[in-house]
Amino acid sequence: MTQSLITPTQTPLLGLSLAELTEWVQQQGQPAYRGKQLYQWIYQKGVRSLGDITVFSKQWRQEIADFPIGRSVIHHRSVAADATVKYLLQLSDGNIIETVGIPSYKRLTVCVSSQVGCPMACDFCATGKGGFTRNLEPYEIIDQVLTVQEDFERRVSHIVFMGMGEPLLNTKNVLAAVRSLNQDVGIGQRSITISTVGIRDRIRQLAQHKLQLTLAISLHASNQRLREHLVPSAKSYPLKDLIAECREYVKVTKRRISFEYILLAGFNDLPDHARELAKNLRGYQCHVNLIPYNPISEVDYQRPTEEQIKSFVNALEEQNIAVSIRYSRGLEADAACGQLRASRVTT
């Protein structure tokens, strides 16, 4: 038997594998088959308290009732007209994070957070205006998916790491959560997307894991000058270096990269910007995902018109760049990512 990864005063159980949970129950003096029961109740039934696992004896349930599984509490829930649901989840230490459930006929996508707040301070982003508190633990990431699944009473099919935080500044915990979401919750790697603004050497390190997930790069600019204005970290990690690291990622993983590009009226949305962007991206597997800007009160950027959006798309297609437009869901619930938290959490 391997050395235990936990003790009753340490990490909650959510995120542990079947083997690790089996080891834990044996440490509690229980037979090994209890591990499979515990595993099923945590990942398939979404139990929130060990005291609620009715296949365990009443005496043992009472003994372990206070040991944490690692579930959050819904602090606030906001539903948009398109059925998108935004959640504020309260963690065990009182911190609040934002999670979004995005339903469609065939899919239920969860937009998860990887940090409490975000240290990147991107100029257009509501979350970045609130500062950074800490990284999320693997169980706090997995819990977001189980919470949405429970609330919708429907299996989650896709996960996007596009909520609060920079995932590649929390790589260890994010990858641990991805492992569990894939192997324990049962979501295919190809249905998981990790979005990053770009952290030097982290994309290269991620490539070594050769995962089948989708990597999305929050690019948002066609040249270094514009990117520095939007993304403070671009000063120390230039666009040319980011693009070079992305090319290495494609070569190692054989996986196409998606480039996220927020269209800001009069700033980065001209056909010349599109042609400049195409020049940077030409020659390897990639896809551009255009996101018309959703205004927030802290800055003065505006959303481009449909005609401006179409002109940008046409300019990219003329350069043979694969492109699509992503219109944000749930705008009525609270306009931009991070705004729900800002409007509902008081200090």
pLDDT digits (tens, 9 = 90+) for 261-280: 999 999 999 999 999 999 99
- C-alpha–C-alpha distance, residues 124 and 220, integer Å: 10
Q: How confident is the model at residue 108 (pLDDT cuts 50, 70, 90)?
A: very high
Query: If DSSP codes are grouped into helix, strand and coil, which group holds residue 206?
Result: helix
Average per-residue pLDDT for the chain = 90
- C-alpha–C-alpha distance, residues 16 and 179, integer Å: 10
Q: Name the more confident of 339 and 177.
A: 177
Q: How confident is the model at residue 338 (pLDDT cuts 50, 70, 90)?
A: low
Q: How confident is the model at residue 125 (pLDDT cuts 50, 70, 90)?
A: confident
pLDDT digits (tens, 9 = 90+) for 32-77: 999 999 999 999 999 999 999 999 999 999 999 889 999 999 999 9
Q: What is the DSSP letter of 167?
A: G
Terminal Cα distance for the chain, rounded: 47
- C-alpha–C-alpha distance, residues 20 and 40, integer Å: 13
Residue type, 127: T
User: Which of these is catalytic: 125, 246, 286, 337?
Assistant: 337
Do residues 259 and 217 lie in contact, with contact meaning Cβ atoms separated by under 8 Å?
A: yes
Q: How confident is the model at residue 300 (pLDDT cuts 50, 70, 90)?
A: confident
Burial (Cβ within 10 Å: 0-12, 13-18, ≥19) of residue 329: buried
Q: What is the DSSP letter of 21?
A: H
CA distances from residue 310 to 49, 96, 217, 271, 324 in whole angstroms, order as listed: 51, 38, 22, 10, 11
Question: Active site includes 98?
Answer: yes
- C-alpha–C-alpha distance, residues 241 and 252, integer Å: 17
pLDDT at residue 335, as a whole number: 36
Q: Classify the C-alpha dihedral 333-338-341-344 as positive or negative.
A: negative
Helix (H), strand (E), coil (C) string for 294-336: CCCCCCCCCCCCHHHHHHHHHHHHHCCCCEEECCCCCHHHCCC
- C-alpha–C-alpha distance, residues 62 and 72, integer Å: 21
- Angle at alpha carbon of residue 111, lines to 109 and 112, rounded to 5°: 130
- C-alpha–C-alpha distance, residues 23 and 29, integer Å: 10
pLDDT at 142 over 80: yes
pLDDT at 85 over 50: yes
H or E stretch at 263: strand 257-263
- Maximum separation of any 2 CA atoms in the chain, in Å: 71
Q: Which residues touch 312 (CB under 8 Å, ≥6 apart)?
A: 263, 269, 270, 271, 273, 274, 290, 304
Q: Classify the C-alpha dihedral 199-330-328-130 as positive or negative.
A: negative
Burial 251-265 (b: 16+ CB within 10 A, else e): eebebebbbbbbbbb
The torsion angles phi and psi of 17, rounded to 5 degrees, stand at -80, 175
Q: How confident is the model at residue 5 (pLDDT cuts 50, 70, 90)?
A: very low
Q: Which of 73, 28, 74, 69 is nearest to 51 (CA)?
A: 69
User: Which of these is catalytic: 23, 98, 137, 260?
Assistant: 98
Question: Active site includes 332?
Answer: no
